[in-house]
Amino acid sequence: MNGTSDKTALVQAAEDFLAAAKAFNGDDVMARAGLMKHADHLRLLVEDPFGTIMRQWDVIHLTAALNVLTSMGILQRVPREGSIGSEELASAVDIDESVVQRAMRIIVAQGIALEPSPNHYVHNAKSLAYVTGSSQYFFKMVVDQDEALTSLPHYFATHSKQDLTDIEKTPYAFSKKMEGSTYYQVISADAERLEIFNHTLAHLEEQHPVLGMFPFSSMKAHVEAEPHRPFLVDVGGGIGRVLKSILQEAPNGFGAEVVLQDRAEVIDVVDRDGIPDVTLMVHDFFTPQPVKNAHLYLLRRILHDFYDPACIDIVKNIASAMGPTSRLLIGDCVVPEKANMGDDFFVYWMDLTMMVIGGQEKTAKQFTRIFDAAGLELVRIWPAAIGMQSMVEAKLKA
């Protein structure tokens, strides 16, 4: 840093962080995200150019250490209660003890697990996240995607510009030596990859809930006035986690039908007892929408998987079923028109991830172009309180 203006910015960032820290109660997810944003802004102001490079080195080594510890089953063998030594852990997985010690040093220094005495380890909440719940699958997805991200220079050197938007020539398929298959075909061909994908979606829904943007409860009077029309069609809705959240705000769909659509292999594993009053329907969103004149159609984390031509086809298929008062809701990030230091990193990470698998996060202008080409018009963007996640609302052109 240099100059009075830089110091003024640093002090202001520190004061903003302090104010957010004093207001933080330790529980609210959105408040935590806001606090982290202040902390990131403060760090970016302090960090010098070489410090930025060192941070990348740090992340690479942390990921490598955690990958060894989890893929070898080492971290999973740390007991939930009490401690265990590096010698016992190394013997259990038949690996050199120094590997355990060296990898554990890296994660302990980052606050992941604890070392109460030399070379003896205990879990904390952060280390448990790598071996329990849906977050463990999210980390596996991170490692899986890292292979594709690392291969990007080789991909661009060996492919045309047009290949990037070809859903059968994605960087992900290239990294797995499966070009000629779409991303979903690649992951569906491997049971473990498909399991990781499904659990990762569940984790993202936990971290980025669907509620708090579009006011689903405001539909009550409209739906009750026309209960013969389906309340909501969740297109490509997975196993129904998003739908379950929406039904908390709109109990029983306000008396109208609620429909969950996805591929056959997904619908087959839906917990029917968990959403007993929901109609399950096998549907390919690249074909015309069979449910007509619903109050709401939802595409949650679908359009970001594709570039504009495919998005236009998907939206056209829904538009063909919409009535005059139907609404299409797009649950995706909305990318700022201009990047600024301190922006929510998640949206840019996601955009690069989408590039790897054959898609793109979109700006408001891009959504508007897609709607216009599909015969719709933008009504409103309903943003989340923190971050770039939004509900983009569209209707048939007047």
pLDDT tens-digit map of 382-395: 998 877 789 999 99
Is this prediction's pTM over 0.95? no
All CATH 3.40.50.150 domain ranges of the chain, comma separated, are 213-396
Could you tell me what percent of the chain has a pLDDT over 90?
A: 79
Backbone angles phi, psi at 233, to 5 degrees: -115, 110
- Residue 113 pLDDT > 80: yes
Residue 3: its pLDDT value, please? 59
DSSP string, 173-204: HHHTT-TTS-HHHHHHTSHHHHHHHHHHHHHH
Helical segments of 151-263, H only:
152-158, 171-175, 183-188, 191-207, 220-225, 241-249
CATH of 3-128, one of 1.20.1740.10, 2.40.50.250, 3.30.450.20, 1.10.10.10: 1.10.10.10
Q: Which residue of the set 123, 199, 208, 304 is catalytic? A: 304
Residue 31: its pLDDT value, please? 82
234-248: pLDDT as tens digits: 999 988 989 999 999
Q: What's the mean per-residue pLDDT of the chain?
A: 93
Sign (positive or negative) of CA dihedral 18, 23, 25, 29: negative
Which residue type occupies 139? F
pLDDT tier for residue 214 given thresholds of 50, 70 and 90:
very high
Residue 346: its pLDDT value, please? 86
- Residue 70 pLDDT > 80: yes
Residue 120 a catalytic site member: no
All CATH 1.10.10.10 domain ranges of the chain, comma separated, are 3-128
Describe the strand order of the beta sheet including 120-122 as a list of residue ranges: 84-85, 120-122, 114-117
Structure tokens, 107 = 């994660």
297-334: pLDDT as tens digits: 999 999 999 999 999 999 999 999 999 999 999 999 99
Arithmetic mean of pLDDT, 22-30: 81
Higher pLDDT, 190 or 282: 282
Domain 213-396, classified CATH 3.90.1150.10, yes or no: no
Do the bridges between strand 120-122 and strand 114-117 make them parallel or antiparallel, or are there none, so unpaired?
A: antiparallel
Structure tokens, 241 = 């986690």
243-287: pLDDT as tens digits: 999 999 999 999 999 999 999 988 998 999 989 999 999 999 999
97-108: pLDDT as tens digits: 999 999 999 999
Arithmetic mean of pLDDT, 219-240: 96
132-142: pLDDT as tens digits: 988 999 999 99
